[in-house]
Structure 1
Amino acid sequence: MTKTTIPYAETGYFSSFICDYIRQKDALQEFYHRYPSLENAQAQLSEKEACFSKATRETLVQSLQQQYKGVTTSQTTQDNISALAAPTTFTVTTGHQLNLFTGPLYFLYKIFSTINLSEALRKKYPDYHFVPVYWMATEDHDFEEINYFRTRGKKVAWEVAASGPVGRLSTEGLQELSTVLKKEFGSSDHARQLLRWFETGYVQHNTLADATRYIANELFKEYGLVIVDGDDTALKSVFTPYAKQELLEQTAFSEVSKTTERLTSLGYPEQVHPREINLFYIKNGLRERIVQREDDFFVMDTELRFTKEALVKELEDHPERFSPNALLRPLYQEVILPNLCYIGGGGELAYWLQLKAYFSTVSVPFPMLLLRNSVVLSSVKIADKLQKLEVDMKSLFLPQHALETQHTRKISSIDIDFSPQRKHLQEQFKALYSLAEQTDASFLGAVGAQEKKQLNGLDHLEKRLLKAQKRKLADELNRLTLLQDTLFPNGNLQERTVNFSEFYEAYGPQLFEVLKAQLDPLEEEFTVLAL
């Protein structure tokens, strides 16, 4: 096994916004509280400890114990749940949708980033305890985003009519996919383990939330991972005062809009657009926005209508019927968890960076924000082939046309760089410009036009030569692009496309052992692992 790393900014796959954040660019410092580091964790935990109540801890522990009823988990996870009642216990959290069979590979990288940072904090601060948390996005309603995964180049999809919070969806019908997966996974011991996880998760559990908890617990229980379902009446009761403020004062819209204006004025894009009210009304099969029209409140695309007083009573009596949207979910999470750091992808951190001023306004500590590990899983065989081609891994991050051009110029026996010819041509035209300056402006313009025409001609000839050399060297270029296609399916990052099952079938538990050992959440570079 070999490991190499590449700066995120040099991969071409990360926005300037996130790269500037990693560089801690001065212009972005007002949008976060403390940059993630082991040293900064001391001030973060002191701040959180001062405002996180014993009652909230007790509610959190009781809710988790209820959520874990019937779940066979490790002693480490059980101890972590119990430890959350203590004032010296804090969490490191990541969140993820309820993608079928965990979805793309980066699910694993999020979780291991969270587990490894928790362990690093324990070593740094032995008087405190740190718990890795996976927040299940059970209240999302974008079923089309989560109803499939890809393995061996094929899409395995759960085709069913669905509406409302995805965590409440019945798993009925998923048994049919087991037949498909028996063919896809094969008959090895590792393949049979994959099939057991899938069948036990989706056939023996009634809801998508329960199935996802089972699978995530099976994969990570030995590391003490604690899985939280925010679609919980007791936890939402803790959040009720903030939900009430959102309904009546619409603070998030005001504060986030002002922050977004500052970000866009600096040239950064808006990641999430705030609504006047950032709450949904949910029941089974229903999750729709709450909107205000004059003095009354309505649930979009329904006949539901509330006066202000009736809506507040509904919230107090049935907090489980109110669901934060993507913009408000971070606040909900930080209100009910003794959290120090949130770990997410670039898109997630971008919308968190819109929220700091809002958190200050509602007097909730803003967590440290850490970019999750990103990984390309390769093989020693592929690494050897790249070495024979004299291509470094960094080059494979280029767009394919750029990779082909770079390699053609490198291996061509003919120099395809016409820069000397351009320089010579420009030197010749200097004399013509001197001559033109002694006559009228029309001749000067003619000289300029002719120079441009001839330089364009050289550009065209260079492109023709490059194209001819690509044809001549097609065999080697095809070998190279085949390697790139293997590691970057359809020109995308592997981690955003391929499911873990493809690698687990090949490597089994070793896959998790390597990721656990090699991923440093504070390394802040893209990781390439040749297994």
Structure 2
Amino acid sequence: MNIVQEQLPAGQPLAEALIQDFTRVSDYYEYNPAEEQSFGRRLAWLDQSEHLRVDRKELVKRLRAFNQLHNRHEAVSASLDQLEQPGTPVIVGGQQSGLFTGPLLVIYKAATIIKAARQAASQLGRPVVPVFWIAGEDHDWDEVDHTYVLSSDLKVTRIRLAHEHAQGTPVSWTELDAEAWEQAAGELEQLLPGTEFKPGLMELYRNAAAGSATLTDCFAKLMGEWFGQYGLVLLDSADPEIRRLETPVFAAMISRNDELEQAYRGTADEMTRRGFTLQADARENGANLFYIHKGERLLLFKQDGKFCDRKGRVAFTRDELLAELELHPERFSNNVLTRPLMQDTLLPVLGAVLGSGEIAYWALTRRAFPVLDLQMPILLPRESFTVLEGTLQKHMEKYDLSWDDVKRPEAFQAKRQAWLAGQDSLNLEERFAEIKSVFTGMYDPLIEQLGGIQAGLIKLGSANRDKIVDQIEYLRGKAMDALEKSNEAGLRHFDRIELSLFPLGKPQERVYNIFYYLSRYGTDWIDGLLGIPYDVTGKHRILNL
């Protein structure tokens, strides 16, 4: 595997500035991740603030139970033993539990967490535990119920779970039947190339699905299979026992909700004035908490002294909401602005691995941390990759295509058209343009002269000219179609490059699933990924296979 660094803009000025121009955004982030001393400073803060977090032993007890079910590995048990000891911090990152684990970026995030924990441990001389936060409390089923695979006939094909999901229900509460699991397996099996690794890979998925009630269960089993050996601990944010441990934190969020809102909105207003685009909605009177009512996750707002949802299905005074929390903590969950605070009270977070969009919306939370006597952790950019298979490398060399050509749609299409034009020995475009020019040049004066005989002939002549021009253009189109068909093999090479690297106009890592690459290269591909040197900047790299 050859690794080359190539630029792929984050598209998020805040995320880019975090690494490249920290002083510009130091009002919104506590630590500069590129400075080595940030890790020592953060560790010192964690050591003196141990009393602010939930009891380690109770947390580890629950994490052991969950990982015993889905991520049973000696290295995970060793990680939990370490986490149980005071002074052991974590590197954490998370994602929703998607079908077949979702897009490749999920895999890259897990790898980044593990590598960042290794490096921090080496630097600090203290164990650092990698933790993956499964966002099982999220309820956007349409984001997690599908994945994409490139078919052999060069179509970006979506595989979607055939399941009627109750609107607003958390993913970890949504149970699937055997038919839904097998339907997805059958579609995937049809799309994956026939290789020596495919049968074992499909068996792995079917075994994981057979032992799973929910998408979160299956996600955890697959992630455990691939990353448990590296000591990656899995945490389901919707776990009722985890929620019980979080009860005092929710109580603080409810009691000090106005202060939290003021922190979010004040930062949002300031960022807007400075020209930054907000990546999360700091709404006026927003409680930034969800309440699960009859299985549906409702976002709470404050109105007339009560916490309620927009449609008025629930309404609680502050005291009533606190009483409900004591009785039913499992009915409460965070939104994107309070989740970072909950994560920091549940875990001793040295650093949080985030995508560029997450880094951007975390900027809204820095001033909320002190409301709960907390401090924003180090934010570490997720590593970013594009897999470039050997065949694609050969195609790019053959057609003189650089990474810059491929990543810019207009440049890529220009190269494609230039190559096709180079195959046109008859110079069809020029000749048809010349014919139309000569024809109209001769015909237009005649039409004007005919107007001297009878005025109506000008209109008739113009219509006649346009019909002839249309017929010339029709023949030009047919000729160009024939040219494309005679060069179909080359154009398919261009299509394969584009659809492999930037499917649906997006970076590969945001669309395609890991199963395709594991079916081609086996699980050693993951070992290779973990062997790539860690880059704290998260700069994009090409994996030449």
Superposition TM-score tier, normalisation by shorter sequence:
0.7 to 0.9
Change (3 A) 1:327 1:214: same
Shift of 1:72: 5.4
Change (3 A) 1:305 1:510: same
Task: Show the counterpart of 1:370.
Answer: 380
Which structure 2 residue ranges, 5 or more long, are not aligned?
151-155, 423-479
Answering whether residue 149 of structure 2 is matched by residue 158 of structure 1, we say: no
Q: Deviations over 1:207-236 (max 9, x none)?
A: 222222111111111111000112234433
Task: Show the counterpart of 1:464.
Answer: none
1:295 to 305, 313, 322: 305
Q: Deviations over 1:36-58 (max 9, x none)?
A: 14432111111112112385211
CA–CA separation in structure 1 for the residues paired with 2:344 and 2:221: 24
Aligned AA (2:280): V
What SS is found at the alignment partner of 1:376? strand
Task: Show the counterpart of 1:214.
Answer: 221
Aligned AA (2:411): A
Alpha-carbon RMSD across the aligned residues, in angstroms, is 2.7
Task: Show the counterpart of 1:123.
Answer: 122
1:192 to 192, 199, 202: 199
Answering whether residue 277 of structure 2 is matched by residue 263 of structure 1, we say: no
CA–CA separation in structure 2 for the residues paired with 1:33 and 1:42: 13
| Contact in 1 for aligned 2:14/2:359 (Cα 8 Å) | no
CA–CA separation in structure 2 for the residues paired with 1:310 and 1:289: 17
Change (3 A) 1:284 1:195: farther
CA–CA separation in structure 1 for the residues paired with 2:392 and 2:373: 52
Aligned AA (2:123): K
The equivalences for 1:48-87 within 5 A come to: 48-53=46-51, 56-71=55-70, 73-87=72-86
2:19 to 22, 25, 41: 22
CA–CA separation in structure 2 for the residues paired with 1:174 and 1:302: 37
CA–CA separation in structure 1 for the residues paired with 2:229 and 2:67: 15
Answering whether residue 5 of structure 2 is matched by residue 5 of structure 1, we say: yes
The equivalences for 1:94-113 within 5 A come to: 94-113=93-112
CA–CA separation in structure 2 for the residues paired with 1:18 and 1:480: 32
CA–CA separation in structure 2 for the residues paired with 1:188 and 1:312: 56
Task: Show the counterpart of 1:359.
Answer: 369
| Contact in 1 for aligned 2:19/2:33 (Cα 8 Å) | no
CA–CA separation in structure 2 for the residues paired with 1:209 and 1:308: 32
CA–CA separation in structure 2 for the residues paired with 1:286 and 1:114: 32
Task: Show the counterpart of 1:515.
Answer: 529
Which structure 1 residue ranges, 5 or more long, are not aligned?
414-470
CA–CA separation in structure 2 for the residues paired with 1:57 and 1:7: 41
CA–CA separation in structure 2 for the residues paired with 1:527 and 1:408: 28
Change (3 A) 1:181 1:234: closer
Answering whether residue 512 of structure 2 is matched by residue 498 of structure 1, we say: yes
CA–CA separation in structure 2 for the residues paired with 1:194 and 1:46: 44
CA–CA separation in structure 2 for the residues paired with 1:241 and 1:73: 30
Q: Deviations over 1:386-420 (max 9, x none)?
A: 23333322332112x2234468889999xxxxxxx
Q: Deviations over 1:466-523 (max 9, x none)?
A: xxxxx8x986787546423332113211001110111111001221122111252314
Change (3 A) 1:183 1:381: closer
Task: Show the counterpart of 1:460.
Answer: none
CA–CA separation in structure 1 for the residues paired with 2:71 and 2:18: 40
How high is the TM-score relative to the length of structure 1? 0.82
What SS is found at the alignment partner of 1:179? helix
CA–CA separation in structure 1 for the residues paired with 2:412 and 2:184: 39
CA–CA separation in structure 2 for the residues paired with 1:323 and 1:138: 10
2:175 to 166, 170, 174: 170
Task: Show the counterpart of 2:243.
Answer: 236
CA–CA separation in structure 2 for the residues paired with 1:353 and 1:182: 42
Aligned AA (1:210): D
| Contact in 1 for aligned 2:98/2:215 (Cα 8 Å) | no
Task: Show the counterpart of 1:317.
Answer: 327
What is the count of residue pairs matched by the alignment?
470
| Contact in 1 for aligned 2:287/2:300 (Cα 8 Å) | yes
Shift of 1:299: 4.4
Change (3 A) 1:83 1:345: same
Q: Deviations over 1:131-157 (max 9, x none)?
A: 111100000000001000111231110
Change (3 A) 1:360 1:297: closer
Task: Show the counterpart of 1:326.
Answer: 336
Answering whether residue 48 of structure 2 is matched by residue 34 of structure 1, we say: no
| Contact in 1 for aligned 2:109/2:383 (Cα 8 Å) | yes
Q: Calculate percent identity across the aligned residue pairs.
A: 24
For structure 1, which segment, 290-299 or 199-208, has the greater mean C-alpha deviation from structure 2 after superposition? Answer: 290-299
Task: Show the counterpart of 2:232.
Answer: 225
Change (3 A) 1:95 1:377: same
What SS is found at the alignment partner of 1:394? helix
Change (3 A) 1:100 1:398: same
Shift of 1:195: 1.4
Shift of 1:282: 1.8
CA–CA separation in structure 1 for the residues paired with 2:193 and 2:325: 50
Change (3 A) 1:23 1:406: farther
